[in-house]
A and B are shown apart, each in its own frame.
Chain A
């Protein structure tokens, strides 16, 4: 079992650009959540996807959007990047109806310059 996989592991973008991060959930999981972890802080919930719909959303602007595909994988898109978007972006998967806990990927380190 590969667990939760995220790509890329690192990337550097320029202010104003757009970025797409990808996540493949653990086998058997159907729910994907995204978190932003700024340096020295705890992870902050961005949103959660289930059955290809956004199920919950945290206090993040509309520049942050997502998608879930029929195979349960997910993308996080951030438009008009700001320096403050530099962070570790974590994806977590779970199986909603089975009440499983969240399993986290290794994260994508985004640096905005």
Chain B
């Protein structure tokens, strides 16, 4: 069975600083990996996805993530944090595209001015 571990339930960065949100996965087969963002009282919005095409994936709002098979990781980064990035971020894994998503517990990102 697949699983996702997000290290750090809360991350705080200053505006303009690097954002790094960590995600490690467990999967018996090469997975599909996703990062979603959730603003308060809202649904989930897809930031980016890995589907085995390129290991470095670029998403919306300046975010990117790198798939590292040897480390079973898919960390999310953004070079310069903006106040509008404050939200909760979820990493998710799926064995087949279109199949159920298994989510991590989420990381709340706080951006300080």
Contacts and interface: CB of A to CB of B under 8 A. Distances in A.
A68 to B, nearest CB: 15
A48 interface: yes
B102 A45 contact: yes
A31 interface: yes
B100 A106 contact: no
Contacts of A70: none
A104 interface: yes
Which of B34, B43, B101 counts the most A-chain CB atoms under 10 A from its CB?
Answer: B43
A45 B101 contact: yes
Nearest to B43: A104
A103 B101 CA distance: 12
A45 B100 contact: yes
B67 interface: no
A94 B94 CA distance: 14
A14 to B, nearest CB: 23
Interface in A69-113: 90, 92, 94-96, 99-107, 109
A33 B104 CA distance: 17
A94 B43 contact: no
Interface residues of B, number: 22
B98 A90 contact: no
Interface string B33-52: 01010000111111001000
Contacts of A20: none
Contact of A43 (B44, B45, B97, B99): B44
A40 B103 CA distance: 13
Contacts of A58: 100
Nearest to A48: B100
Contacts of A21: none
Interface in B12-59: 34, 36, 41-46, 49
Interface of A: 4, 31, 33, 35, 40-45, 48, 56, 58, 90, 92, 94-96, 99-107, 109
